[in-house]
Structure 1
Amino acid sequence: DHLDYYKFRAIFEPYHVRVDAMPGELDLANNGITRVYDGNLSAATYLHERGDESKADKNRKISAAPPAFLASGWESPKPIDLPLEAWRPDMQDFVQNGYLSQKLAGVAEAEVQLKKLKLDKAAQERKRAKSEGIRPFRGEAILTDDFSGPRPDLWTVFGSDSRYQDDSLSITKPSLDTTYLRSKVKHPRDFELELKFKTTGGQKWKSTGIRFDVDESGDNSHFVYTSVFGPKVHLAHTIGGKDEYTQAVAKRSIKLNQIYTLGLKVRDRLINVSLDGEFLFAYTLPRRQPGAVQLMAYDAVTEFHGIDVWNLPAQVVLEKAGGAVTASVTAEKIKLAEARLGLVKAEYAFAKARVDADNAALRKDGSGSAEAVGTSQIEAGLAKAKVDLFDSKKSAEAEKTIKKLEADLKSGKFPDRKPLPFSQVSLINTPNKDALPSDGGYPKTSSGRRTALANWLTHRDHPLTARVAVNHIWLRHFGTPLVETVNDFGLRAPRPLHQDLLDYLAVEFIESGWDMKHLHRLMLTSKAWQRSSSNLAADKKTLDADPGNDHYWRMNGRRMEAQVVRDSLLYLAGTLDLAQRGPSVTPSPGARRRSLYFFHSRDGRSRFLETFDDADVFACYRRSESIVPQQALAMMNSQTASTSAKQIAAEFETNMSPEAFVRAAFSKILARPPVPVELAESLAYLNEQPKREHFIHALINLNDFLMIR
């Protein structure tokens, strides 16, 4: 009946996947565990018209059940109440403690940063105080103007949007540097300049600065400017009417309606640039020509409050271009660090309030409250907005945020509280929109459908599950399965030779409560598993009667699986990373994690593992086994093998005698002593080839290393 498909599908309809945090680093990408859960208890399964997923017959709701001909032992699913940690994984102690520790670490780091800035500021102030008594070298004044009124004797005015008002020169409309004043007198080749200004508006860039070496055409000059957008101080050139921007740039917070003093010191082609007395950078200009200075306002409304140009005395020392610059600590930097400290403290208070409120509400432990969470959340938002005020791109929005949050705090309008962000739904990919996970968090109950499936699969009347499990475990321990067709136990499969043994172990597995450790112990303590794999002393009748060892009269010799080969080499070399858990790693010769942690996909596989019959990407029944020349080449020439041989050789003491070294190497690599012939051959080889790493490389290429006997 085709309805059997829909019945079986209904078992998994609520099924979804999520990633939960693990003890240690609270990072879902690097230290998360994948879990399955019932994400939508109301998820329904409907019959599809002609099998078309988009045409569900909502009048025919299908209940979860196994195929009818296998329905014996099936019990209808019953809802299961889940423990708190299952539907609120953030309530686990390690999550709460780790979350609070993260926030406290942020507070400690911010305190260290603020303390360092204050110490640097104090050292800077002491240095400045020491030099206050030294009168700065100033040359002859060339140009001085406080812009309190027009000075036609000093300036040529271009454009019509300049105006003298409030003891300053205002550029009243933003333009692309079409309104400006150019000095009538040329500045000296070596000069010092200070420009005091305030940018009050503009469209986007809001750039204000000064040009120098301006020729009569105005098409050639150098210029230094500040920008409010993408805040910075930048040096550029205009050559033939085209602007060329240099790498001489300093990121600085430039705010509207704040007075700044831009300083230049130019000697020949070397220029030093400062802002408010803070040295920013030195640069070597490409070329110079005699010229004038020119006020610059690019896409800016600007007030110019004063300009001074002097001759630069020879005794003034300039910073060299390309030298390391130690940025001075400004009061604004201190305030920003204080705001950041306030933010991380507010975030810790919010985190503590969340944990306390969750414990009080869900565990009845403590006195946390929803009101305390809401208050601390708003205060954390306010602290974040106060940090954003220092960013010119975010300051306008931050001011609006502060007003809104202050109003919310006053009115008691608190945002919704969500669980801590240490679990997330993943792989949401289903054509059945009725089965999508709900938005209200994880359900407190499970549908019980998967439990019903598990109970049905492990019912005493269904020995197939136990038989399949026994066959797989036997295959891994003995090298061959009890049932040759590991993926088919149906009527087409031949009757197993050891049917009684298979049934005995299956019953033992069921009676032990499906205890796999018990099954492993039973197999590994058996005489069958402990038998030698050698057939040297075998009776001829035995060899003739069972040459293929179908009756397990000896142990099967088998080659290590691909992962075991690689991990054994790294382990013997002392470089295998035995750490448990963590993210998957990309296969590479330099990787040191166990092969278990390699990404296992069709497109990104380890060439070394592939050579030794890596596991199939699409099935996990039984690995194929091959003997090909590439395997010998991999053990001889691969980076994994050659590097491991060198590292293994380095493990032995250099003062060991050749015989002691050979015996120790055999014991370490082959887990047995050398026989006399092997010892003699080894000593003869070392006499001709004294490099021990070559001998180790030969040992790991022996069949005895690759085979499990």
Structure 2
Amino acid sequence: MRLIVRAVPLPLALMVASLLSAPLPLAEAVDYEKDVKALFAERCFACHGVLKQEAGLRLDTAAFMKTGGDSGPAITPGASHSSLVWTRVSSTDPDLRMPPEGEPLKANQIAAIEKWIQSGAPAPEQEEPEQDPEQHWSFQAPVRPMVPTISPPTEETLHPIDAFLAEKQQIAGVQSVSPLDRRLWLRRVSLDLTGLPPSDADQNAFLEDHSPDARGKVIDRLLESPQYGERWGRHWMDIWRYSDWWGLGAEVRNSQKHMWHWRDWIIESLQQDKGYDQMILEMLAADELYPEDVSRLRATGYLARQYFKFNRTTWMDETIEHTFKGMLGLTVNCSKCHDHKYDPITQQNYYELRAIFEPYQVRMDIIGDETDLQNNGIPRAFDCNLDAPTYLHVRGDERNPQTDRPLAPNVPGFLSSTAPFEVRTVQLPVRAVHPGVRDEVAAAYRKQAIRKKENATAAVEGMNKEGETKSPLEREILLLKKSIADQELQSIDLRHTADRLRYLAETMDGSPDQVLAEAARSVTQLAVYRAELACKELDWQTSQESDNKKKEELQKKQETANKQLDEARKKHESPGTDYPSLVGSEKTAESNIESEESRKKPFPKQSTGRRSALARWIASDKNPLTARVAVNHLWARHFGAPLVPTVFDFGRKGSPPTHPELLDWLAVEFMESGWSMKHMHRLMLTSSLYARTSSSKGATEETLRSDRENRLYWRMNPIRMESQVLRDSLLALAEELDMRTGGPSVPVSDAMSKRRSLYYFHSKNEHNQLLSVFDDANVLDCYRRATSIVPQQALALENSQLAQELAIKIAQRIGATSPNSNIPDGDFVVLAFRKLLGYEPNPQEIERSIRFLESLRQAMPVNQDAAPDVASQKSDPLPPQAAFLLALLNHNDFITIR
């Protein structure tokens, strides 16, 4: 492509140059508050506001700008081009341009500043400077406001939630829409609380119940069903970033194996209505607060999930960031490299928070009958390096720590006065320090040894029945294996007894030294038996080998094995009192160079108490953030939009609440209810708002003009099904859903599994494809699910083998697909709409659906209308009724919770 350069006439060039250098004409007045101050608040206050004054300059009032800073006045009214502010924001020199970070200001923004200064920099006489950051609304303790009295009072406004909403609606001239159809309400509340559509029996029972508390009874039933814990467990798994392990091949690099134990704890805790404050205590510090309670120790999977093998700083950063975003709605990660630009959190505060988590590591504890931690175990937190120092990293660079100033654990000063933060060292019980002494651990090893003994005994008995068919050497090998199995069982009992004597100081017959010596002798005897077995097996292999070269190699191995046998016998003659304890837990590797032995050594006898101090501080009813953040998450998931749009940022950069009084009322109610989530569910779901239609049909013109986006909640918000709800609904409608709860994650390869979708293995590397198409949770950050409507979703449902097979089964449940079925198409359509969409079809929908069924039938090959074998439906066209149902499953009213 050729670049054509044309000469510009000199007069024209001079005219353009003069226009570019001269102040712009004041054709349009500039709104200082809207066009200038708001811009400075967004881009400049972080460095030139109340929190920080770079070069001594504040820009949060016109008076401050006129006073200026170290370089003199920032503005000269009437002279924009000689004003420091304009010259810096319009500079093209990256060393001079302001703001120094991010994109330069846009041309129209620079022009607005220029016009404002040129017009004399007018501003309100009583202009208020930026608010003291510590006085920000979310940093003040919530106080329960009075519930508004609405006049004239109606049944709708008797509910506290509706009263708060009605007050704002009346001021804005907005009117609520009518209630939702009862059948659709049942669908909405069922999918909301359990993630499953109502059964036919549930629909009939509710529609026949005309008692005043019919809806309340449905809510109570759903909250008590096991499916409630699963549905709402998935919500909190999003917020807390649940993830199964991922890495490279079999190497765990992120999170931990067996994270499903934490997932099950979440589900069980919600099902039991464990207080949210208690859940926080257990997730952050169960190992310090309940060190012998295995059920509660599962909760510290929250900390185990943060594990990252190759970089401790990354591990710490993610732990700090997401603990504070998820539980407190604070973006403290912004202060890793410098003081926070909006909230009163210094860089030192950040590293004092890191000091809270610095000592903790992850270990895997034995649980159940399995002693192989690769197969099962509880990933849990513990304080490993009690004296690990924390240093501030200059500019956030871990390669440049301030090693002369170790930092003590603490929370940001502006919040420390609201709730106590007191660190107390925790003395740990013996069973936490030496988990091998736990009776459950010994029982697991015994069961394993008994199985080996039974197998060895059966092999010997089988040999005896066979007579002389085995060689003497083979007989010796089998007998040795039985001896080893016997000795293993005996050694386990002796070592468990000796461990209890050594660590628990229990009184028992015989001198302690004798018991310890017997335990040691049992181990050395076992070593002798194993060495003898190795020699015998090599003897047998050598006797069977005809290849001379391979025989020579085996003979060399025999020589080595004989030496090891001699060493084992010598050690057995003087076993001493040292022996390996039963391994009840293993520390997770911090790097590739950590030895196996260091991972099995006894754990520290103390814990720092730092995490329990943090947990108590977060879970305190004096903390102004915790309850607000939690009820905001609950509200968002029930009503489709949060009261505070920035759900993980309640700081000064975040959005203010749309209904601050309602938010505070709910936060106080939550705490005073004992932090009961089920109480809050009942409260929100019994409101008139929850019973309203999500349609804007029937809304007044004034309502649509004033609040088309429904910020005042004059109707419900339609909510798109989350991926798990969509897949589970298909299975439930076909009555194929496996209702078992808990247990190991379902492999992603088992795409046709009938388990609930939250049980699928879910990590950054592996996830169910169908769930991913429908905006599944991002394991790195998911405070609110992303929602999308893309063609791939319709294609996935239309072509999914699972969806096709389930459509056939749903059709069979509704009325059979064979031509011998006597259910008319019209009746089938009505039942299908009720079952799948939750409402009665109108006459036009019935007519079009019947025509669609007829067209499908006409297009079917001969003899293809009969109900087929589901297993054969990989390529054959779907029967008409099933194809019709598949179309309904792609209907917006199925995928959307109205």
Tell me if 1:458 matches 2:619. Answer: yes
> 1:35 aligns to what SS in structure 2?
strand
- Sort the Cα spacing of 1:544 and 1:50 in 2 relative to 1 into closer, same or farther, 3 A: closer
Counterpart position of 1:633: 795
Preserved contact between residue 31 and residue 583 of structure 1 (Cα < 8 Å): no
Return the offset for 1:12: 1.2
Return the offset for 1:471: 1.1
- Sort the Cα spacing of 1:647 and 1:413 in 2 relative to 1 into closer, same or farther, 3 A: farther
The correspondence for 1:11, drawn from 343, 356, 365, is 356
Counterpart position of 1:553: 714
Counterpart position of 1:475: 636
Preserved contact between residue 666 and residue 672 of structure 1 (Cα < 8 Å): yes
Tell me if 1:412 matches 2:575. Answer: yes
Preserved contact between residue 658 and residue 683 of structure 1 (Cα < 8 Å): no
Preserved contact between residue 385 and residue 401 of structure 1 (Cα < 8 Å): yes
Q: Which amino acid aligns with 1:98?
A: A
The answer to which of 674-683 and 91-100 deviates more is 674-683
Counterpart position of 2:454: 108
> In structure 2, what is the Cα distance between the partners aligned to 1:439 and 1:563?
39
Counterpart position of 2:532: 386
Counterpart position of 2:891: 702
Per-residue CA distance 1:406-448 (angstroms, 9 max, x = gap): 333332324433342x4222251599x9xx9997422232101
Counterpart position of 1:250: none
> In structure 1, what is the Cα distance between the partners aligned to 2:447 and 2:428?
28
The correspondence for 1:581, drawn from 743, 746, 750, is 743
> In structure 2, what is the Cα distance between the partners aligned to 1:626 and 1:57?
46
- Sort the Cα spacing of 1:473 and 1:86 in 2 relative to 1 into closer, same or farther, 3 A: farther
Counterpart position of 1:442: 603
Q: Which amino acid aligns with 2:487?
A: A
Return the offset for 1:348: 1.5
Per-residue CA distance 1:111-139 (angstroms, 9 max, x = gap): 223323333x23xx5xxxxxxxxxxxxxx
Per-residue CA distance 1:460-498 (angstroms, 9 max, x = gap): 443112211211121122211111122321223343221
CA RMSD of aligned residues (A): 3.5
> 1:17 aligns to what SS in structure 2?
strand
Q: Which amino acid aligns with 2:455?
A: E
List alignment gaps of at least 5 residues for structure 1: 126-327
Counterpart position of 2:442: 96
Counterpart position of 2:386: 41
Counterpart position of 1:510: 671
- Sort the Cα spacing of 1:333 and 1:632 in 2 relative to 1 into closer, same or farther, 3 A: same
> In structure 2, what is the Cα distance between the partners aligned to 1:571 and 1:21?
36
- Sort the Cα spacing of 1:548 and 1:414 in 2 relative to 1 into closer, same or farther, 3 A: same
Q: Which amino acid aligns with 1:10?
A: A
Return the offset for 1:333: 2.3
The correspondence for 2:823, drawn from 643, 658, 677, is 658
The correspondence for 2:585, drawn from 412, 423, 429, is 423
Preserved contact between residue 648 and residue 693 of structure 1 (Cα < 8 Å): yes
Return the offset for 1:449: 0.7
Tell me if 1:402 matches 2:565. Answer: yes
> 1:407 aligns to what SS in structure 2?
helix
> In structure 1, what is the Cα distance between the partners aligned to 2:428 and 2:681?
32
> In structure 2, what is the Cα distance between the partners aligned to 1:361 and 1:656?
76
Counterpart position of 2:339: none
> In structure 1, what is the Cα distance between the partners aligned to 2:687 and 2:500?
52
> In structure 2, what is the Cα distance between the partners aligned to 1:677 and 1:91?
73
Counterpart position of 2:133: none
- Sort the Cα spacing of 1:558 and 1:427 in 2 relative to 1 into closer, same or farther, 3 A: farther
> In structure 1, what is the Cα distance between the partners aligned to 2:407 and 2:592?
17
> In structure 1, what is the Cα distance between the partners aligned to 2:395 and 2:654?
34
> In structure 2, what is the Cα distance between the partners aligned to 1:82 and 1:523?
42
> 1:19 aligns to what SS in structure 2?
strand
Return the offset for 1:27: 4.3
Return the offset for 1:605: 3.8
Q: Which amino acid aligns with 1:615?
A: A
> In structure 2, what is the Cα distance between the partners aligned to 1:111 and 1:663?
66
> In structure 2, what is the Cα distance between the partners aligned to 1:625 and 1:50?
36
Preserved contact between residue 587 and residue 605 of structure 1 (Cα < 8 Å): no
Q: Which amino acid aligns with 2:563?
A: K
The correspondence for 1:621, drawn from 745, 770, 783, is 783
> 2:454 aligns to what SS in structure 1?
helix
Q: Which amino acid aligns with 2:482?
A: L
**Percent identical residues:** 39
Q: Which amino acid aligns with 1:352?
A: D
Counterpart position of 1:77: 423
Query: Equivalences for 1:54-65 in 2 at 5 Å?
Result: 59-65=404-410
Q: Which amino acid aligns with 1:491?
A: R
Tell me if 1:611 matches 2:773. Answer: yes
> In structure 1, what is the Cα distance between the partners aligned to 2:476 and 2:678?
62
> 1:387 aligns to what SS in structure 2?
helix
Aligned residues: 500
> 2:358 aligns to what SS in structure 1?
coil
Counterpart position of 1:375: 521
Q: Which amino acid aligns with 2:410?
A: A
Q: Which amino acid aligns with 1:412?
A: P
Preserved contact between residue 560 and residue 707 of structure 1 (Cα < 8 Å): yes
> 2:781 aligns to what SS in structure 1?
coil
Q: Which amino acid aligns with 1:20?
A: D
Preserved contact between residue 730 and residue 806 of structure 2 (Cα < 8 Å): yes
Counterpart position of 1:331: 472
Query: Equivalences for 1:561-600 in 2 at 5 Å?
Result: 561-573=722-734, 574=736, 576=738, 578-583=740-745, 585-586=747-748, 589-600=751-762
> In structure 2, what is the Cα distance between the partners aligned to 1:28 and 1:439?
12
> In structure 2, what is the Cα distance between the partners aligned to 1:636 and 1:404?
69
> In structure 2, what is the Cα distance between the partners aligned to 1:472 and 1:600?
22
Q: Which has the larger radius of gyration?
A: 1
Counterpart position of 2:648: 487
Counterpart position of 2:306: none
Return the offset for 1:499: 0.8
Preserved contact between residue 658 and residue 686 of structure 1 (Cα < 8 Å): no
Q: Which amino acid aligns with 2:565?
A: I
Structure-1-length-normalised TM-score: 0.63
Return the offset for 1:79: 0.7
Return the offset for 1:402: 3.1
Return the offset for 1:552: 2.7
- Sort the Cα spacing of 1:413 and 1:652 in 2 relative to 1 into closer, same or farther, 3 A: farther
Return the offset for 1:503: 0.8
The answer to which of 441-450 and 682-691 deviates more is 682-691
Structure-2-length-normalised TM-score: 0.50
> 1:29 aligns to what SS in structure 2?
coil
> In structure 2, what is the Cα distance between the partners aligned to 1:477 and 1:697?
28
- Sort the Cα spacing of 1:635 and 1:410 in 2 relative to 1 into closer, same or farther, 3 A: same
Per-residue CA distance 1:645-703 (angstroms, 9 max, x = gap): 24444556757532476666555544556666655655665565342432332332222
> In structure 1, what is the Cα distance between the partners aligned to 2:568 and 2:635?
66
**Larger strand share, 1 or 2:** 1
Q: Which amino acid aligns with 1:356?
A: T
- Sort the Cα spacing of 1:518 and 1:17 in 2 relative to 1 into closer, same or farther, 3 A: farther
> 1:36 aligns to what SS in structure 2?
strand
Preserved contact between residue 745 and residue 760 of structure 2 (Cα < 8 Å): no
- Sort the Cα spacing of 1:697 and 1:57 in 2 relative to 1 into closer, same or farther, 3 A: closer
> In structure 2, what is the Cα distance between the partners aligned to 1:537 and 1:50?
57
Return the offset for 1:542: 4.7
Preserved contact between residue 452 and residue 485 of structure 2 (Cα < 8 Å): yes
The answer to which of 7-16 and 92-101 deviates more is 92-101
Preserved contact between residue 366 and residue 441 of structure 2 (Cα < 8 Å): yes
> In structure 2, what is the Cα distance between the partners aligned to 1:629 and 1:97?
55
Per-residue CA distance 1:252-306 (angstroms, 9 max, x = gap): xxxxxxxxxxxxxxxxxxxxxxxxxxxxxxxxxxxxxxxxxxxxxxxxxxxxxxx
Q: Which amino acid aligns with 1:619?
A: D
> 2:361 aligns to what SS in structure 1?
strand
- Sort the Cα spacing of 1:612 and 1:372 in 2 relative to 1 into closer, same or farther, 3 A: same
